[in-house]
């Protein structure tokens, strides 16, 4: 059993569990004077294991005066503060090449995200969409160009965060990217970030027409956001799961819970890290399309304690729940002598712990999960991991009679 769990974790880790948009310095936009916590350069966020993939936000202009796109990475690189390639509005951000390569060397995925709240990238024909795909391939991905904003770094794919412009012709764009990528030596990802109301106004038709690897559904700023997780009339992950399995051309498309990483990161939908972890684990246990959690954005997550790390820890610990009904033979090895001796001695005044398994320190418990420890039955109040019953995260349900 341990082997299969381990194997499952290895397989799961092939796909990112936690995504963080990077580029827009959302923290700086909501905390203009706290410059110390403004968005840092990309490699800062790759030093630890909490975020597995970074869509770079955003490519907000498809065709500048020179026929090239433009990008805006807020305080890190933009068309006003950095040099542009001659005759274009495309900033030369080649100082980020080593950052991107350092992240990729750690197994992290770095993609270019097209669109954004103020972007309005759209096409007048399939041919124009294909031409744009050729440009994206040459400028950011596996092609070649003298105007590569990230120099020798080869990004890992394209994310579509379309929130304006026309929804037409995007399937021609995606198909053309796929066609370039089909002969390549590495995997290129195509992802999208629809808003939670289904179907999405801008991405609805393209995600139905061509296969995506993942969708990062924005469960915020909307009635169907995370604030409504416990309201079955509003929370609609089931609709997205059903889309994944019955409509999407890629039936293995992964659906992510997109979440604000701090209270000011979105107008609505923010929940604490422990609540988000609980919701994510519950969603994973209900819907097989669940892929992980997307955070808006990296700057907010890192200024908000260990927000991203908590979510990563919850998702990577396999998650759920109560260990199997029969206690593991070696369960005593999880309980140190110190921990046992500091536990109040059992006072068997009634109640039975039945078949509930002993608490173990390498399982994440979500609210409502039960475990036995020190002669008592404990119920988790909220998501926790490695917290010995007796602290704040469990309440004592009853004593156990053995
Ligand atoms: C882009 O910037 C780098 C670093 O400043 C520089 O070496 C390179 O020549 C620039 N590329 C172009 C085409 O201007």
Domain ranges in the chain? 3-332, 351-399
Measured from the Cα of 92, ligand 1's closest atom is 1
Instruction: Tell me the C-alpha to C-alpha distance, in Å, between residue 90 and each of 120, 242, 279.
Output: 16, 40, 40
| Pairing assessment for the beta strands 189-192 and 384-385 based on DSSP bridges | unpaired
Instruction: Tell me the C-alpha to C-alpha distance, in Å, between residue 95 and each of 28, 85, 158.
Output: 21, 14, 21
Lowest model confidence (mean pLDDT) among 4-8, 74-78, 317-321: 4-8
Angle at 274 between CA 271 and CA 277, to 5 degrees: 90
| Pairing assessment for the beta strands 254-260 and 290-296 based on DSSP bridges | parallel
| Pairing assessment for the beta strands 214-218 and 189-192 based on DSSP bridges | parallel
Percent of the chain with pLDDT over 90: 69
For residue 384, the model assigns a pLDDT of 61
Could you tell me the distance, in angstroms and rounded to a whole number, from the CA of residue 133 to the centre of ligand 1?
A: 23
* Contact in structure between 94 and 135 (CB atoms under 8 Å): no
Q: Is 387 a catalytic residue?
A: no
Cα separation, 136 vs 288, whole angstroms: 32
- What would the pLDDT profile of 300-331 be if each residue is shown by its tens digit? 999 999 999 999 999 998 654 333 333 333 33
For residue 400, the model assigns a pLDDT of 64
Q: Report the pLDDT averaged over residues 84-92.
A: 94
Mutating to test ligand 1, I would choose from 98, 151, 152, 153 the residue with most ligand atoms within 8 A of its C-beta, which is 151
For residue 127, the model assigns a pLDDT of 97
Per-residue tokens: 49: 């294991």
Measured from the Cα of 85, ligand 1's closest atom is 14
Q: Please tell me if the CB atom of residue 94 comes closer than 6 angstroms to any atom of ligand 1.
A: yes
* Contact in structure between 264 and 297 (CB atoms under 8 Å): no
Q: Please tell me if the CB atom of residue 343 comes closer than 6 angstroms to any atom of ligand 1.
A: no
The model's confidence at residue 333, banded by pLDDT at 50, 70 and 90, is very low
Q: Where are the beta strands (DSSP E) in 128-237?
A: 157-162, 189-192, 214-218
Q: Helices in 54-212 by DSSP H: which ranges?
A: 97-105, 126-140, 170-181, 204-209
Per-residue tokens: 387: 């917290």
Inform me whether the pLDDT recorded for 83 exceeds 60. yes
pTM of the predicted structure, to 2 decimals: 0.78
Residue 29 gets which letter from DSSP?
H
For residue 323, the model assigns a pLDDT of 33
For residue 39, the model assigns a pLDDT of 97
Q: Which of 7-11, 84-88, 214-218, 345-349 holds the top average pLDDT?
A: 214-218
Residue minimizing CA distance to atom 10 of ligand 1: 92
Could you tell me the distance, in angstroms and rounded to a whole number, from the CA of residue 139 to the centre of ligand 1?
A: 14
Could you tell me the distance, in angstroms and rounded to a whole number, from the CA of residue 74 to the centre of ligand 1?
A: 20
How many CA within 13 A on the CB side of residue 153?
A: 23
Could you tell me the distance, in angstroms and rounded to a whole number, from the CA of residue 94 to the centre of ligand 1?
A: 7
Question: CATH classification of 3-332, choosing from 3.20.20.80, 3.90.180.10, 3.50.50.60, 2.20.25.650?
Answer: 3.20.20.80
Q: Please tell me if the CB atom of residue 397 comes closer than 6 angstroms to any atom of ligand 1.
A: no
Q: Report the pLDDT averaged over residues 100-119.
A: 93
Inform me whether the pLDDT recorded for 241 exceeds 90. yes
Could you tell me the distance, in angstroms and rounded to a whole number, from the CA of residue 77 to the centre of ligand 1?
A: 14
Q: Which fold has domain 351-399?
A: Seminal Fluid Protein  PDC-109 (Domain B) (2.10.10)
Measured from the Cα of 86, ligand 1's closest atom is 14
For residue 387, the model assigns a pLDDT of 73
Residues 6+ apart with CB under 8 A from 338: none
Pick the catalytic residue from 60, 99, 159, 163. Answer: 163
Residue minimizing CA distance to atom 12 of ligand 1: 85
Percent of the chain with pLDDT over 70: 83
Could you tell me the distance, in angstroms and rounded to a whole number, from the CA of residue 295 to the centre of ligand 1?
A: 32
Measured from the Cα of 151, ligand 1's closest atom is 1
Q: Please tell me if the CB atom of residue 92 comes closer than 6 angstroms to any atom of ligand 1.
A: yes
Measured from the Cα of 146, ligand 1's closest atom is 13
Do the domains 3-332 and 351-399 sit in the same CATH topology, yes or no? no
The model's confidence at residue 375, banded by pLDDT at 50, 70 and 90, is confident
Q: Please tell me if the CB atom of residue 85 comes closer than 6 angstroms to any atom of ligand 1.
A: yes
């Amino acid at each position: 059993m341990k082997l299969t769990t381990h194997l499952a974790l290895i397989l799961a880790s092939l796909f990112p569990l936690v995504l963080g948009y990077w580029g827009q310095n959302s923290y700086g936009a909501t905390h203009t004077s706290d410059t110390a916590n403004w968005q840092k350069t990309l490699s800062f966020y790759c030093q630890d294991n909490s975020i597995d993939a970074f869509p770079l936000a955003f490519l907000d202009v498809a065709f500048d005066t020179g026929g090239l796109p433009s990008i805006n990475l807020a305080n890190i690189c933009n068309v006003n503060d950095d040099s542009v390639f001659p005759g274009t509005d495309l900033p030369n951000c080649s100082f980020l090449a080593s950052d991107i390569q350092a992240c990729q060397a750690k197994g992290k995925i770095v993609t270019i995200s097209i669109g954004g709240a103020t972007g309005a990238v759209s096409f007048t024909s399939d041919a124009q969409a294909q031409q744009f795909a050729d440009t994206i391939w040459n400028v950011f991905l596996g092609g070649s160009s003298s105007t590569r904003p990230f120099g020798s770094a080869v990004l890992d794919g394209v994310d579509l965060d379309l929130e304006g412009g026309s929804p037409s012709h995007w399937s021609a764009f995606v198909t053309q990217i796929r066609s370039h990528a089909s002969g390549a030596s590495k995997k290129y990802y195509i992802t999208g970030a629809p808003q939670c109301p289904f179907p999405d106004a801008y991405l609805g038709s393209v995600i139905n027409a061509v296969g995506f690897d993942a969708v990062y559904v924005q469960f915020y700023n909307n009635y169907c956001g995370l604030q409504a997780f416990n309201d079955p009339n509003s929370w609609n992950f089931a609709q997205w799961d059903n889309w994944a399995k019955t409509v999407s051309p890629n039936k293995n498309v992964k659906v992510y819970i997109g979440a604000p990483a701090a209270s000011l990161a979105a107008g609505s939908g923010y929940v604490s890290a422990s609540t988000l972890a609980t919701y994510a684990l519950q969603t994973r246990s209900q819907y097989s399309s669940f892929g992980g959690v997307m955070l808006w954005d990296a700057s907010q997550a890192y200024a908000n304690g260990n927000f991203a790390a908590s979510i990563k820890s919850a998702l990577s610990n396999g998650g759920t729940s109560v260990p199997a009904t029969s206690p593991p033979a070696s369960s005593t090895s999880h309980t140190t002598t110190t921990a046992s001796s500091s536990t109040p001695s059992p006072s068997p005044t009634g109640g039975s712990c039945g078949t509930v398994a002993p608490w173990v320190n390498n399982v994440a418990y979500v609210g409502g999960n039960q475990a036995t420890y020190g002669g008592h039955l404990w119920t988790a109040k909220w998501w926790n991991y490695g917290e010995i019953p007796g602290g704040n995260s469990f309440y004592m349900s009853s004593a156990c009679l053995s």
